[in-house]
Each structure stands twice: as C-alpha cells, then as structure tokens.
C-alpha cells in the first residue's frame, strides 16, 4: 500500500511517477493531492492519461484492490482501516487541514512494514509528521528530490525529519518501491543509477 502526498506542482510529479510505474506491481496507490474545494477534481481523468491503472475517487468507503489508484476528493479526508479506505467530510472548524499526515498515520497503523509513503512537490509541511509514523512502523519513506520538485517546501520539510529512506526523482521511485517489495533492505538503500 503506497500513500502519496502532494500539493502545488504535484500533478506534474504524479505524471512523472505514474508514467514510470509498471501497471502490475501488485500495489495499491492512494494519492492525497491538495485540491481546491471550489472546483470539481479532474484528477482521475488526468492520471488515466499517464497510466492504464484505474484512478478512483474515494467518495465513501472502498475496498483496496491492487494495481489501482485511489484519489482524495475535494473537502474530504481519507484514512485506511485494514483493507478499506474511508472518506470523511473534512471538519469545518477552520483548522489547518493536513490530509497527508492523517492518511500516513492511518497507513502506518494499518499496514506497518507493508506501507510506503511518498512526498512529492508542494508547499508547506503536510506529510512530514505522518512520515515519522510510517518509518516507526517499519514502512518505506521516499521523498522527491527538491531539485526535481516544482515546489520544494513539502519535500524539504520531509527530508528535514531525517526519516527518508531515499530522496529520488519521481521517475526513480517505482524501482525503489519494487526493490522494497522484493527485499526491504535493498528498497531502503535504493540509489538511482
């Protein structure tokens, strides 16, 4: 199970990641992309241009299937419990929303060392605290290299936690995920060629 947090510049990074991703990895992907609450998301149509995997918004509750991309809808948060993704309305209390942190924490609790968390381009620090949970649970943590990110705030914040197993371009991440699935030590120590 792979959680992917992204914000500004994230669509470009997601395109690069999924263009390089084999469609038969046996993994499921949950994309936590910060979205405007005021516009209908076209993320599923956009991602399906780059991959033949289905891209499904999680509107209520979805059982996780391999080789599928799940998407955060606007004004929602997603958590995972066991093998189910659950979408909930975001609280309207005006508090800062950190959907990547929330998802990564639930991912760590549900999937432990079978979890991977990725932080891509974005501003701010969402995802950084949740990465610590994934790492503590024995999962894999990958971060987009700040040089390759259109906006380096989220990647730099994630790197500053000290828990990133590898800092890579989006194109190099699929090989690291596949290495981790085969041998966790080689995935943790993955170096791009």
126 is catalytic: yes
Residue 134: closest CA among 103, 177, 157, 155: 103
From 34, 100, 128, 152, active-site residue: 34
| 34 part of the active site | yes
Q: How far is CA 15 from CA 10, 150, 169, in A?
A: 8, 13, 12
Euclidean distance between CA atoms 100 and 68, whole angstroms: 19
Query: Do residues 30 and 63 touch, judged by C-beta distance below 8 A?
Result: no
Task: Tell me how far apart the alpha carbons of residues 31 and 55 are, in angstroms, rounded to a whole number.
Answer: 9
Choosing from 87, 106, 126, 172, which is the catalytic residue? 126
Instruction: Reply yes or no on whether 7 is catalytic.
Output: yes
> For residue 95, what is the DSSP state?
P
Q: Tell me which of 7, 100, 106, 128 is the catalytic residue.
A: 7
Nearest in space to 173 (alpha carbons), one of 122, 133, 134, 116: 116
Q: Which residues are catalytic?
A: 7, 34, 126
């Amino acid at each position: 199970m792979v959680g992917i947090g992204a914000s500004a510049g994230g669509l470009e990074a997601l395109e690069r990641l999924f263009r390089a991703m084999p469609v038969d990895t046996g993994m499921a992907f949950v994309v936590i992309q910060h979205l405007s609450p005021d516009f209908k998301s076209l993320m599923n149509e956009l991602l399906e241009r780059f991959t033949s995997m289905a891209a499904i918004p999680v509107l209520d509750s979805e059982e996780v299937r391999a080789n599928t991309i799940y998407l955060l809808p606007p004004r929602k948060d997603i958590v995972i419990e066991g093998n189910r993704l659950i979408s909930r309305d975001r609280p309207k209390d005006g508090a800062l929303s950190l959907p990547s942190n929330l998802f990564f924490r639930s991912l760590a609790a549900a999937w432990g060392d079978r979890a991977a968390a990725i932080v891509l381009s974005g501003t701010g620090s969402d995802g950084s605290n949740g990465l610590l949970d994934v790492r503590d649970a024995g999962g894999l943590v990958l971060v987009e290299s700040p040089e390759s990110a259109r906006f380096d705030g989220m990647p730099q914040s994630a790197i500053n936690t000290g828990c990133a197993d590898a800092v890579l371009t989006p194109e190099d991440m699929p090989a690291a995920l596949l290495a981790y699935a085969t041998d966790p030590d080689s995935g943790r120590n993955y170096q791009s060629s």
